[in-house]
Amino acid sequence: MAKTKKKKLSPEEQHKQLHDQAEAIPFVIEDYKAKGKWFRAFVVRYLAGPMVRFQKRLLDKQRYTGASGQKLKQAEQMKRHLEQRRKAMEFMQGEMQRQQKKAQKRNKAR
């Protein structure tokens, strides 16, 4: 059986993934604490978290130097913001549809 190689991410994709990971760290820690996985929360908080933040800082330095880098940073931030808003809207629409279906089922039962 031949194993297929994992596709290597482009620098933009790597940077986006690191940014997502760095933003998610506090939520991951809280989730682990809520599930009672205190050791994993500790590892993320004091080992993995600082490493991810450090890598992100290094990539930020490489990627966002100079005037063109500032424009790129601003463009990426806006793209990310719009993407998050779009996802939030899709989620809310799905929730509304789910609520409507639930209400229709309730009305049919009467």
Q: Are residues 39 and 81 in the same domain?
A: no
Q: Are residues 93 and 49 in the same domain?
A: no
Q: Are residues 84 and 57 in the same domain?
A: no
Q: Are residues 58 and 93 in the same domain?
A: no
pLDDT in tens, 51-100: 999 999 999 998 888 888 889 889 988 998 999 999 999 999 999 999 99
At residue 25, the pLDDT reads 95
Total of domains in the chain: 2
How many CA atoms are closer than 13 Å to the CA of 105, on its beta-carbon side?
6
Query: CA–CA separation, 56 vs 89, rounded Å?
Result: 28
Q: What domain range includes position 84?
A: 77-110
Q: Specify if 69 maps to a domain.
A: no
